[in-house]
Amino acid sequence: MAPRPHPPGEPCRHAHAATMRCQDLFSFMPALDLDHDADVITTRLSSADTLFVACLCAEWCGSCREYRAGFDALADAHPEACFVWIDIETHADRLDDFDVENFPTILIEDAHATRFFGTVLPHPQIVARMLVDLSSLPGVERAPKLRPALVDA
């Protein structure tokens, strides 16, 4: 498996570090994946100021599989945010308290509130529009707290 890019500002620990910069090797920054990037996710989400965008999905879901490339493109377009792809069935042990009724389910959380938690059509432009002005999203009072489940695990 090829090494995954690290978030901007994080020191490079890849084998190529002595000979080239990551940005020379990686031209695309996909969403982080809980299966492979748990440590990076924990580090990024430890700062409450980091915008957090999660897609809760399932591998068997055709809509989720189709949505993945678009979600990865959103992550690439917003390197300041922590985009995380989470298969809720693979990680049921961490996500028992999350009631996901349909897929894909998106969670958007900034330093002040959970701005969105719900199912979206599998079109990345929907989330892209939400990210343009987070203050226009009123917040979700009873949204599950996903960040602690990922940071404190």
pLDDT tens per residue, range 26-40: 567 899 998 899 999
Q: Which residues contact 83 (CB under 8 A, 6 or more apart)?
A: 31, 32, 53, 54, 55, 71, 72, 74, 75
Contacts of 12 (CB under 8 A, 6+ apart): 6, 21, 22
Decide if 6 is inside a domain.
Answer: no
Domain limits at 123? 30-151
| pLDDT (0 to 100) of residue 5 | 56
Which segment of 48-52, 63-67, 80-84, 148-152 scores lowest on mean pLDDT? Answer: 148-152
3-state secondary structure the chain: CCCCCCCCCCCCCCHHHHCCCHHHHCCCCCCEECCCCHHHHHHHHCCCCCCEEEEEECCCCHHHHHHHHHHHHHHHHCCCCEEEEEECCCCCCCCCCCCCCCCCEEEEECCCCEEEEEECCCCHHHHHHHHHCHHHCCCCCCCCCHHHHHHCC
Task: Specify the pTM.
Answer: 0.80
Tokens (6 digits) for 132: 């343009």
pLDDT tens readout for residues 84-96: 999 998 888 777 7
Residue 111 has pLDDT above 50, yes or no: yes
Query: For residue 58, is it within any domain?
Result: yes
What CATH number is attached to the domain comprising 109? Answer: 3.40.30.10
**What is the predicted pLDDT for the residue at 153?**
64
Q: Average pLDDT, stretch 94-114?
A: 86
Query: Is residue 53 in some structural domain?
Result: yes
Would 122 be classed as within a structural domain? yes
Question: For residue 3, is it within any domain?
Answer: no
Does the residue 77 lie in any domain?
A: yes
- Model confidence over 138-148: pLDDT tens digits? 889 888 888 98
**Is residue 104 reached through a cis peptide bond, with omega within 30 degrees of 0 on the bond before it?**
yes
- Predicted local confidence at residue 129, as pLDDT: 95
Q: How many domains does the chain have?
A: 1
Model pLDDT, residue 17: 47
Which of 21-25, 32-36, 40-44 is predicted with the least confidence, judged by mean pLDDT? 21-25
- Indicate whether 59 pLDDT > 50: yes
More confident of the two residues 142 and 42: 42
Q: With respect to residue 16, please indicate whether it lies within any of the assigned structural domains.
A: no
